[in-house]
Amino acid sequence: MSTTFQLDTGTSRANPTPQVMKRLTVPAILQRKQDGITADPIVMLTAYTARQAQLLDAHCDMLLVGDSLGQVIYGLPSTIPVTLEMMANHAAAVVRGSYHSVVVVDMPFGSYEESPQQAFASAAQLLKASGAAAVKLEGGAAMAETVAFLVGRGIPVMGHIGLTPQAVNVLGGYAARGRSDAEAEKIVGDAKALSDAGAFSIVVEGVVEPIAIAVTNAVPCPTIGIGASALCDGQVLVTEDMLGMFERVPRFVKRYADVATTISGAADLYAQEVRARSFPGAEQTYQPK
């Protein structure tokens, strides 16, 4: 049995409520792809808080605690400054707020690149502190040895190739990858190397569509597209982008709501009522008995 959380309106605290529902597992995600075909595409969204996880969990197969929280939550200019402590704390909140999805947590920049041993120490710290099921790390063939090292020691790994935000300073920006023959060949080779090393899935980000399809056809594990192709085995988006929380919308994002306007409108109405002294009213105040 796994656990979800409901808001206790008496104390404003999240209290665990048992749910007779088994959480999805990493092997179950891997087995979605049979003989190169994923009949039931994998749904993944980012989540950074317990309440967000509660709202998304029933609709997703995986929740990604992405290092994109650096920009989305903390207002940082990139993912580079994100720390292990940040990732562990947010991942723990997402695990507490979910009971169905596989929770995957990003390994932040500088926590795994030095050596497989460093990567194991960081990954073990993340999983122990949060209860997440798997880690995600960026990089292709150069990280294959590290992926094999982690998987061999019981840590499931999701790979990430193509546009890798942690390498933005090397890439020189966030442009789509795979436009040249050499780069396209490298991306496919990176995917094969990660799959051979034991990655249970691979995020394919910001890759021209024919190459994303070639990657998906080249590996037995599921691919998760973001700015790639609908023919990937699954899709992921930053939830705040999908909800329309920011003015800027990347090309690969479809806005499914305009939550920013809703929030701003509610705050405006609240401000008007406070200034007019019409809030709080009789329904929101306590009167003598």
Known catalytic membership, residue 205: yes
Assign 104 to helix, strand or coil. strand
Q: Helical H runs in the chain?
A: 26-30, 50-57, 69-72, 84-96, 116-130, 144-152, 168-171, 181-197, 209-218, 239-242, 259-275
Q: Which helix (H) or strand (E) holds 250?
A: none
Maximum separation of any 2 CA atoms in the chain, in Å: 79
> Rg of the chain's alpha carbons, rounded to an integer?
21
CA dihedral (270, 274, 275, 277) in degrees, to 10, reads: 140
Query: How many Å apart are CA 211 and CA 254, to the nearest integer?
Result: 21
Output the six-digit token pair for 218: 């080249």
Rounded to 5°, the CA angle 48-86-264 comes to 45
Q: Residue 67, annotated ligand binder?
A: yes
Q: Collect all residues with Cβ–Cβ distance below 8 Å to 214 and sequence separation of at least 6.
A: 184, 188
Separation CA 65–CA 88 (nearest Å): 9
Q: Phi then psi for 188, rounded to 5 degrees?
A: -65, -40
111 annotated ligand-binding residue: no
Catalytic pick among 145, 183, 205, 209: 205
Residue 241 annotated as binding?
A: no
Non-local (6+) Cβ contacts of 143 within 8 A are 112, 113, 137, 159, 194
Q: Residues marked as binding?
A: 67-68, 106, 136, 138
- Binding-site entries for Mg(2+): 67, 106, 138
**What are the catalytic residues?**
205
Annotated binding site for 3-methyl-2-oxobutanoate: 67-68, 106, 136
